[in-house]
């Protein structure tokens, strides 16, 4: 409408007029183009556009049909790119250019594991990390209450040998010790419990060496 304060014209006649100026045929040709083919020595109408370079895909050459085919056959998006740049582009294309990022910053515990080179804390237990022994497999041994509590503190099983329990003990020490947490002493109470628990198992005769 002429009195539209935003200057929009949504009439059918205006839309048809706009389309007629930029109409493109099924072949990809801009049929209303009056440009001359930019190939040297060619005077045909340049109805087909082609990007000038991979770095500037919004700037185009205009060719006739024969010369745009010739240009496309020689086109190489990665021309001049290094091998690592090609690999980086392939990785981006796998996720449609939208790389995932962590929602939060790593906490103190996660940073402590990272300093030990451990991405997943369960890695320290090896195959036992995903094994559920349950009560049917060595989970019903009669042990003194102190040793049972020691096993819980060390996150160990009562059918493990002392060598296996010691691995769990050492892993906990590495996580809780202030030297591995930038001097943070907030875990000292838990660290003392772990040391006490290992003393109970170490002196016990109920576990194989």
- pLDDT, one tens digit per residue, over 63-108 is 999 999 999 888 887 777 788 888 888 888 887 877 776 666 666 7
CA distances from 75 to 53, 57, 81, 148 (A): 9, 12, 14, 72
Asked if residue 52 lies in contact with residue 61, where contact means CB atoms within 8 angstroms, the answer is: yes
Report the candidate in 69, 197, 86 with the shortest Cα–Cα distance to residue 145: 197
Tokens of 69: 């085919």
- pLDDT for position 69: 92
Residue 174: which of 131, 98, 111 has the closest Cα? 111
User: Pairing between strand 48-53 and 56-63?
Assistant: antiparallel
Between 46 and 120, whose confidence is greater? 46
Residue 10's pLDDT is 67
Whole-model pTM: value is 0.34
pLDDT at residue number 16:
60
Question: What percentage of the chain exceeds 70 in pLDDT?
Answer: 67
Nearest 5°: phi and psi at 22? -125, 25
pLDDT attached to residue 135: 44
Cβ within 8 Å of residue 164, ≥6 positions away = 128, 156
Q: 113 in helix, strand or coil?
A: helix
Query: Which residues in 48-134 belong to E strands, given as ranges?
Result: 48-53, 56-63
Average pLDDT over the chain, rounded to an integer: 77
| DSSP classification of residue 24 | B
pLDDT for the residue 92: 82
Section 169-178 average pLDDT: 84
- Write out pLDDT tens, residues 106-128: 667 777 767 666 666 666 655 55
Provide the pLDDT for residue 79. Answer: 74
């Amino acid at each position: 409408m002429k009195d539209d304060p935003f200057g929009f014209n949504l009439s059918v006649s205006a839309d048809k007029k706009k389309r007629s100026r930029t109409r493109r045929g099924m072949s990809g040709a801009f049929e209303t183009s009056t440009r001359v083919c930019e190939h040297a020595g060619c005077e045909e109408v340049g109805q087909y556009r082609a990007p000038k370079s991979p770095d500037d895909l919004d700037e185009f050459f205009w060719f006739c049909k024969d010369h745009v085919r010739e240009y496309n056959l020689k086109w190489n998006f990665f021309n001049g790119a290094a091998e690592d740049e090609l690999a980086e582009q392939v990785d981006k294309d796998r996720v449609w250019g939208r790389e995932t990022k962590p929602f939060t910053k790593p906490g103190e515990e996660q940073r402590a594991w990272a300093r030990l080179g451990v991405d997943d804390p369960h890695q320290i237990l090896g195959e036992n990390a995903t094994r559920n022994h349950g009560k049917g497999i060595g989970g019903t041994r009669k042990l003194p209450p102190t040793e049972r509590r020691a096993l819980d503190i060390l996150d160990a099983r009562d059918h493990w040998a002392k060598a296996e329990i010691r691995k769990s003990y050492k892993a906990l020490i590495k996580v809780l010790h202030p030297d591995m947490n930038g001097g943070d002493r907030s875990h000292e109470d838990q660290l003392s419990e772990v040391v006490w628990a290992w003393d109970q198992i170490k002196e016990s005769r109920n576990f194989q060496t």
